[in-house]
Chains A and B, each alone.
Chain A
């Protein structure tokens, strides 16, 4: 089981999912019409490290975060 958190302005509660990798996560989230615009410009972190590939395997207890466009300052 992994936990998926939506940060900042994505007003959506976290999800608990049984998935093995980020490709499976992409498939699940793409089914959600509310998320389709966000997915185009969100970065992804696994256990608080940004990732650049969908291939890395996930393990039980991993935390995945979706980070929408930022503007600090």
Chain B
């Protein structure tokens, strides 16, 4: 076992996203076994590890919507040699960023103070809750990102091709056939 090659270590997380990209990752189905031959997982929603340690590859789904997202993202950047933005939310902000046109103040008032369904009429202020940013940001505005894998979500085959290229030390090439939506 001693001379067996060290496995590539991968961490993943979902920030302001819907876990759709993670679901698409699982859609590689039986190839998951092949993947586990080559890699081991650090922090991911699959392992339930809470903090990311030193890794080779970090995969981030979702944009940056609140302070906690920023902490997690920075932790990933500090620990991962290669950081990948996966899916439209991480790359552009996408659906969560639709709130960017609404003033945060108006939004909170509407939801917690004016909406007839709310009780107590108080804006939550527990320090346990992460504070939201004024806007949702794509992750490249907060940290340096090495690769972008497009799609909402990117199809499983594209994720598989991307990961195997990266793991085997090739420049990832997904190409038109794997990433077309027309």
State yes or no: do A and B come from one complex.
Answer: no
Q: Residues of A at under 8 Å CB distance from B?
A: none
